[in-house]
Structure 1
Amino acid sequence: MAILYHAPLTCSLAARFAAAEGGVPLDIAPVNLATKELAAGGSLYEINPLGQVSVLALDDGTKLTETSTVINWVQSQSANEDFRVDPSDPDYFQMLRWLAFCATELHKGLFRVVFYQEATDEVKDRVRALAPLRFELLDSHLKGRDYLLGSRFTAADAYLTWFFVLSGYAQVDHSRYPNLEAYRQRVLSRPAIKALIDSDTQMDLDLKQNLFAAA
């Protein structure tokens, strides 16, 4: 079984969302991202020289990094045809589009700066000011759609769902966008998503990671 090196509430939670929704079993190796310590002993740097998650170790020893890649691998293993999007599916490249959007425009473009301790408040506010244009794009796209690809929850939604787990900590306001807000409520109310958020919140406390409170 593949092993996901997972720091609670961080982007690797998106991979857990995808695995839960797609019915893909993963072994979870907890990581304290603040200290880079593995709960089982050792350092995250031994797994990924950049000291970052997501990292997925496959059965043959191959390691995959980058959350969008890990999520795509997870969804490719799903037997749930309502969840999995195959390369032959016309929606496949739309799924890749939204995975990339979440990775670049929201994850690295916004969270990477806002949660960077060395960034000044002025820099963080300038980055937060970029959020409305991204929210407008999403809000327009979601008009008439339950999920990013239409009526089904896919891997791209797993990544965007994670954004809403931390958006409050990041102090970005998306409440003025009705389609996006309805989407947020829809995805966060899914039973598997709710259960994993609760589990990760407790894991964060147990590991004393506490990455996000000071953003």
Structure 2
Amino acid sequence: MIEAILESPYINSLPTLFEGLKMTLLITIAGLFLGFILGGLVGLGKLSKNKLIQGICTVYVEVVRGTPILAQVLFIYYGLTEDLIGLSINALTAAIIAITINAAAYIAEIVRGAVYSIEKGQREAGRSLGLTEKQTMRYIIWPQAFKRMIPPLGNQFVISLKDTSLFSVIAVHEVLYMGKQYYNVTYEIFETLVMVCILYLIITIPTSIILRRLERKLDV
């Protein structure tokens, strides 16, 4: 019986799918890391007193959030041609850029909301201690705001992870694309797609559980 299980089409598809899962995690982690940096800057830009900076950041967030990530990655991969920008963008790079740009727009709102939620008295306390506005943000506001960002940032990880499945349209070798390649050869469509879904759930369900516990622990 064990031998039958090990030779089942469900198990046979795993080596191929694991290769795709590595790519999926690479794109998600790299994209979110860069997206957090960009999103943090944009989020703080939306809080800026400079109307130009605030306007540019607002337009960026609204444009990115108002268009689907599938259209964004197609634009990056097919629209930004070598003749137009002077360099060639491969599928993996296009996928990471798409996740970065897309996630940054949502992370910007997370950052803006978290910073804005800190009581004004905290800022006044920092100024009364002789801290500049930047020092107050760095040492008082940001640490408290970051604590409140953690749960929604975790949710963004789950969303971005699932968004990578759309990148099969530009032949990125993520888990869904590798699943398609596998069942195109074996014709084991049902079994392969079941395993694709299970691999996503193996990541997303524990992540969601950890986030709920963390949210309760942080009391945010």
> TM-score, normalization: structure 2?
0.31
Q: Which has the larger radius of gyration?
A: 2
Greater length-normalized contact order (CA 8 Å, ≥ 6 residues apart): 2
> TM-score, normalization: structure 1?
0.32
| Structure number having the greater strand percentage | 1
